[in-house]
């Protein structure tokens, strides 16, 4: 994790020393994102200042420091993230005559934009990233975010007509005259979904760059265009045109190849790394693939709870023993949770209601004592329908389609009317073990899924044989 921030004020709206001071203050506000170094680049003629905070993962030398220029100086970038297959792209660029000073993925981004253009590079790179780009010859500025929006990127127009951007809202708080009026639509979305969806932020005048988007700003610093270089819909449509795997065995073999490659790419680092291990299918699979590719034990970390109904640490320890990892478990207590809660506003910038945020913060703090980065199983359940409610929702929505509209609304409304705790108590009264684990959470999620998708069953919930 790194941090980026910057101002584009124009040469006459703010003095260079003042602009640099503001950007340094912005970087100080998010210093936790980059403990290994910081850098400032300023173009006084055009009134631009980029800042960067570095968490060094690849090329720990000064050759990997940012902000960074391409080999010919035609592109300036400041970037947060990681490009997983940068070595292959670098080989292409070197064959085309591009020169490299070090071996960081940042150089691949800068030289790749100079060679292929921004959209051309974005269609080639895989990873997680937030990139700010200045093209001096065209006096054009760009903000770019990875396909699924894993790395955060906020931007806002300044009171003096300038533009500010940063990895977190905390950095934008340092921008003179920032309008912090609450966006009512964002607040409503948070109350409905538990987060503030892009392009909104909790502030009406601050926006997020969308996942898979390139924002282009002209010399006047006005937004010229928004280009979507990737989308889930387009990816699914393209996949449908490809030959389908005709047997389950061939599908399993192809999936294993993809997963092995994905894990291997994420293990390229010049620092110690490990993995979170919950004992579930997703994180266990990631750790198994990691251990398969390493001679030494993978360092794994898990969280346990005093409440046995929520505790999965024993499952994680069984998996760790089976795979032979170097495993550590941290038991989360009430004091740890309370201490962490105080830091959540600083860490997440805006309202965020993921129930796993507290244990994630605690286990991250524990893991940082031993490694610099970790792999996780996040996203696996969403891709492979790993939660019980994913399977249950498929049957629920298929049955809802057969009901009249008023009945559909009544049923899903009933499921959501009771709190998770109330559902849990109802299942406690039932004889035997007839319900899912955490039935209240599943009932609420199933009701929400049904309410949001009545009338059609999303393809991701259909049985594998129908895809």
Cβ atoms < 10 Å from Cβ of 164: 24
User: Do 277 and 375 lie in a common domain?
Assistant: yes
Please provide the DSSP assignment of 281-309 as one string.
HHHHHHHHHHHHH-SSPPEEEEEEESSTT
Contact 242, 341 (CB under 8 A): no
Instruction: Please indicate, yes or no, if residue 305 is contained in any of the structural domains.
Output: yes
Q: Based on the structure, what is the number of domains in the chain? A: 3
Domain boundary (198, 233, 268) is at 233
User: Do 124 and 21 lie in a common domain?
Assistant: yes
Give the domain CATH number at 34: 3.60.20.10
Domain boundary (367, 383, 399) is at 383
Please compute the mean of the pLDDT values over residues 237-254 and round it to a whole number: 85
Contact 229, 222 (CB under 8 A): no
User: What pLDDT does 40 receive?
Assistant: 96
Please compute the mean of the pLDDT values over residues 373-393 and round it to a whole number: 76
Give the domain CATH number at 262: 3.40.50.620
Q: How far apart are CA 165 and CA 171, in angstroms?
A: 8
Least confident of 50-59, 167-176, 288-297, 307-316: 307-316
User: Do 85 and 46 lie in a common domain?
Assistant: yes
User: Residue 347 — pLDDT band, cuts 50, 70, 90?
Assistant: confident
User: Do 31 and 172 lie in a common domain?
Assistant: yes
Residues with catalytic annotation? 2
Instruction: Please indicate, yes or no, if residue 52 is contained in any of the structural domains.
Output: yes
Instruction: State residue 220 phi and psi, 5-degree precision.
Output: -85, 0
Please compute the mean of the pLDDT values over residues 394-420 and round it to a whole number: 67
User: What pLDDT does 467 receive?
Assistant: 27
Please compute the mean of the pLDDT values over residues 209-220 and round it to a whole number: 96
Closest CA to 367 of 312, 301, 422: 301
User: Do 289 and 414 lie in a common domain?
Assistant: no
User: Do 407 and 319 lie in a common domain?
Assistant: no
Q: Give the residue numbers spanning the domain of 303.
A: 243-383
Please compute the mean of the pLDDT values over residues 176-195 and round it to a whole number: 94
Q: How far apart are CA 140 and CA 159, in angstroms?
A: 20
Whether this model's pTM surpasses 0.75: yes
Q: How far apart are CA 70 and CA 462, in angstroms?
A: 47
User: What pLDDT does 409 receive?
Assistant: 66
Domain boundary (212, 233, 254) is at 233
User: Do 57 and 185 lie in a common domain?
Assistant: yes
Q: How far apart are CA 99 and CA 143, in angstroms?
A: 25
Instruction: Please indicate, yes or no, if residue 238 is contained in any of the structural domains.
Output: no
Q: How far apart are CA 378 and CA 375, in angstroms?
A: 9
Residue 67: is the preceding peptide bond cis (ω within 30°)?
Answer: yes
Give 138 or 451, the one with higher predicted confidence: 138
Over residues 90-116, the pLDDT tens digits come to 999 999 999 999 999 999 999 999 999
User: Do 266 and 193 lie in a common domain?
Assistant: no
User: Do 150 and 218 lie in a common domain?
Assistant: yes
Angle at Cα 348 formed by Cα 30 and Cα 328, nearest 5°? Answer: 95
Least confident of 171-185, 222-236, 439-453: 439-453
Least confident of 78-87, 181-190, 369-378, 458-467: 458-467
Q: Is residue 125 classed as helix, strand or coil in its secondary structure?
A: coil
* Nearby residues of 262 by Cβ (< 8 Å), 6 or more positions away: 84
């Amino acid at each position: 994790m790194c941090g980026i921030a910057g101002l584009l004020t124009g040469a006459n709206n703010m003095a260079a020393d003042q602009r640099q001071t503001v950007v340094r203050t912005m970087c100080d506000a998010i210093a936790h994102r980059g403990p290994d170094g910081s850098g400032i680049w300023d173009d006084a003629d055009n009134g631009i200042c980029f800042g960067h905070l570095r968490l060094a993962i690849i090329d720990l030398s000064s050759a990997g420091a940012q902000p960074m220029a391409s080999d010919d100086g035609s592109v300036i970038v400041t970037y947060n993230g990681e490009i997983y297959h940068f070595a292959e792209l670098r080989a292409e660029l070197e064959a085309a005559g591009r020169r490299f000073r070090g071996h960081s993925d940042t150089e691949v981004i800068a030289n790749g934009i100079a060679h292929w253009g921004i959209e051309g590079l974005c269609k080639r790179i895989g990873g997680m990233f937030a990139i700010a780009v200045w093209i001096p010859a065209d006096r054009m500025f760009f903000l770019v975010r990875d396909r699924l929006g894993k790395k955060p990127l906020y931007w806002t127009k300044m009171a003096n007509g300038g533009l500010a951007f940063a990895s977190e809202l905390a950095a934008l708080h340092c921008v003179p005259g920032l309008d912090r009026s609450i966006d009512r639509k964002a607040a409503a979305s948070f109350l409905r979904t538990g987060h503030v969806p892009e392009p909104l932020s909790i502030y009406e005048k601050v926006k997020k760059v969308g996942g898979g988007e390139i924002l282009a700003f002209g010399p006047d610093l006005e937004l010229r265009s928004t280009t979507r270089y990737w989308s889930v819909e387009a990816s699914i449509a393209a996949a449908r045109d490809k030959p389908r795997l005709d047997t389950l065995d061939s599908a399993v073999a192809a999936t294993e190849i993809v997963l092995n490659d994905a894990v291997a790419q994420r293990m390229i680092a010049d620092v110690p790394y490990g993995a979170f291990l919950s004992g579930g299918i997703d994180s266990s699979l990631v750790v198994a693939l990691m251990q398969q590719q390493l001679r030494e034990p993978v360092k794994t970390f898990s969280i346990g709870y005093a409440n046995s109904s929520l505790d999965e640490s024993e499952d994680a320890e069984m998996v760790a023993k089976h795979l032979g990892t170097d495993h550590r478990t941290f038991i989360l207590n009430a004091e740890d949770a309370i201490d962490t809660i105080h830091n959540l506003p600083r860490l997440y910038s805006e309202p965020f209601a993921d129930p796993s945020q507290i244990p994630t913060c605690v286990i991250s703090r524990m893991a940082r004592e031993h490694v610099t980065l970790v792999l996780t199983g996040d996203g696996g359940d969403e891709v492979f329908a790993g939660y019980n409610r994913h399977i249950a929702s498929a049957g629920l929505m298929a049955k809802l389609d057969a009901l009249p509209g008023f009945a559909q609304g009544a049923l899903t409304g009933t499921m959501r009317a009771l709190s998770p705790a109330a559902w849990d108590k109802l299942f406690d009264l039932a004889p035997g073990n007839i319900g899912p684990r955490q039935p209240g959470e599943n009932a609420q999620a199933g009701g929400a899924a049904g309410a949001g998708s009545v009338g059609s069953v999303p393809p991701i919930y259909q049985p594998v044989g129908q895809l």
